[in-house]
């Protein structure tokens, strides 16, 4: 998987074309639209490159406004909203064809001491005992189960909860911004499945379609994306063709390091049979 990982790292290595202006591209994999995790990860790279290294990102809020065109570059415009004593705020707009397709606001915080507590990690078999999902992906994903396609076939598996082990398939340099950007990329890969599994729906069933509407992340502690992380996902509510998905990311040692929230659009095409 060294080649696949190199390609992903290359996607996140944006070209700086002017102060506060960066350019990214999409992989040549014939997707109809840009993968949401890609544009979120690239936007966070753009924001992070305008912030001192001693201020790690602690949160981001993003909106997917228009489908991205994978055939043309994406221009990222960074607005340096605030540089305070403890916090730094950046706003990023992703632009294609003269229109904004995505916006992200990110906050960076100088580390300081404070009270500590966290939810415990859910029980799960170790990743070594779970089958890998996709062999050709730079992100090693292992579903404890179920995934949407499995629940669509077997009603007994239907649930709005899922556990995923994940890690980047290779060793990464000691760059904290790179690790959080890769987790941002990976966080969008399976989260909306939690909206489908309780209803017997699947992205591959020929009638279900959807898209990410917004995405929020909070980074609580340092972590490495090239070490095993448990991504606990659930959907507390779905209504009116929209559903909310929630994720918590734990290290293999049980530390809660990232929280994720996303609202997704889920549409089901009904088939009308004639007489």
Question: Do residues 167 and 231 lie in contact, with contact meaning Cβ atoms separated by under 8 Å?
Answer: no
Residue 1 has pLDDT above 70, yes or no: no
User: Quick one: pLDDT band at residue 272, thresholds 50, 70, 90?
Assistant: very low
The values of phi and psi at residue 156, to 5°, are -70, -15
Tokens for 116, please give them. Answer: 């500590």
* Residue 72 DSSP symbol: S
| pLDDT, tens digit (0-9, with 9 covering 90-100), for 249-267 | 999 999 999 999 999 999 9
The values of phi and psi at residue 112, to 5°, are -150, 160
Tokens for 121, please give them. Answer: 């990690």
Q: Which residues are known catalytic residues?
A: 188, 212, 262
Q: How far apart are CA 174 and CA 141, in angstroms?
A: 22
- 210: three-class secondary structure by DSSP: strand
Tokens for 20, please give them. Answer: 């506060």
| pLDDT, tens digit (0-9, with 9 covering 90-100), for 211-230 | 999 999 999 999 999 999 99
User: Quick one: pLDDT band at residue 273, thresholds 50, 70, 90?
Assistant: very low
Exposed e or buried b per residue across 14-52, where buried means at least 16 C-beta atoms within 10 angstroms of its C-beta = beeeeebebebbbeeeeeeebbbbbbbbbbbbbbbebbe
């Amino acid at each position: 998987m060294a080649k696949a990982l190199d390609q992903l790292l290359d996607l996140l290595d944006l070209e700086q074309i002017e102060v506060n202006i960066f350019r990214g591209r999409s992989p040549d994999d014939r997707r109809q639209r840009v993968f949401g995790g890609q544009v979120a990860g690239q936007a966070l790279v753009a924001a992070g490159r305008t912030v001192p290294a001693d201020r790690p990102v602690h949160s981001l809020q993003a909106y997917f406004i228009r489908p991205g065109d994978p055939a043309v570059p994406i221009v990222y415009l960074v607005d340096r909203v605030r540089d305070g004593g403890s916090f730094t705020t950046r706003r990023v707009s992703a632009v294609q064809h003269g229109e904004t397709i995505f916006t992200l606001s990110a906050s960076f915080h100088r580390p300081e001491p404070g009270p500590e507590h966290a939810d415990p990690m859910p029980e799960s078999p170790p990743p070594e005992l779970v089958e890998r999902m996709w062999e050709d992906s730079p992100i090693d994903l292992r579903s404890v189960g179920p995934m949407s396609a499995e629940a669509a076939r077997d009603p007994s598996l239907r649930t709005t909860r899922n556990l995923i082990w994940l890690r980047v398939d290779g060793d990464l340099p000691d760059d904290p911004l790179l690790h959080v950007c890769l987790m941002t990329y990976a966080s969008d890969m399976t989260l909306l499945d939690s909206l489908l599994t309780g209803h017997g729906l699947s992205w591959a069933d020929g009638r279900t379609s959807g898209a990410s509407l917004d995405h929020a992340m909070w980074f609580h502690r340092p972590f490495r994306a090239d070490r095993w992380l448990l991504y606990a996902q659930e959907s507390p509510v779905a209504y009116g063709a929209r559903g909310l998905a929630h994720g918590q990311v734990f290290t293999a040692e049980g530390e809660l390091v990232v929280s994720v929230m996303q609202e997704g659009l889920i549409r089901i095409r009904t088939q009308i049979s004639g007489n």
